[in-house]
Amino acid sequence: MKTCRMKAVLALLLLLVPTLAAPVFSNAASAAATAADTFSDPAMEARARNLQRQFRCLVCAGENVDESGSPFSADVRRLIREQIAAGQSDAQVQDFLVARYGDVILMKPPVQPDTWLLWLAPFLVLGAGGAVAWVVVKKAAARSA
């Protein structure tokens, strides 16, 4: 069963198909976050759901632990809820999970020296493109005058 699902993922990758951050696994398992594990306090529940979306299911194809139906995600959801119940802040929950699984679990890549280029690249290209465009337009205007 498991290998078959694995094949499903591969077949998707094969096809250039948008797999999306999608429950390729949980499609079958479905209804990942079910009523079984909810807080009765709506504020705490909202916090939990919000946190669950910020962590990635590490055994899936790009889905977060909120959507995913994998056992891994169920574990992470349980951990998040335990931490919240123990009175930890969102930042503390994040630190806990990063310490346990590494940065790779964060949907939003950390800002640190080896990711500066990642975060800056789009704006560097934009700036460089803007500068080149400026020169090009000035030259074209000089020719036009």
User: In the complex, what is the shortest distance from the CB of residue 72 to another protein, in angstroms, rounded to a whole number?
Assistant: 12
d(CA 142, CA 145): 5
Decide whether 86 or 131 has the Cβ nearer to another protein.
Answer: 131
User: In the complex, what is the shortest distance from the CB of residue 73 to another protein, in angstroms, rounded to a whole number?
Assistant: 13
CA 65 and chain centroid, separation:
9
Inter-residue contact 90 to 47 (CB < 8 Å): yes
Decide whether 85 or 120 has the Cβ nearer to another protein.
Answer: 120
User: In the complex, what is the shortest distance from the CB of residue 82 to another protein, in angstroms, rounded to a whole number?
Assistant: 20
Decide whether 85 or 136 has the Cβ nearer to another protein.
Answer: 136
User: In the complex, what is the shortest distance from the CB of residue 40 to another protein, in angstroms, rounded to a whole number?
Assistant: 15
Decide whether 86 or 142 has the Cβ nearer to another protein.
Answer: 142
Sorted by sequence, the CB contacts under 8 Å of residue 63 that are 6+ apart come out as 21, 22, 23, 24, 25, 26, 56, 57, 73
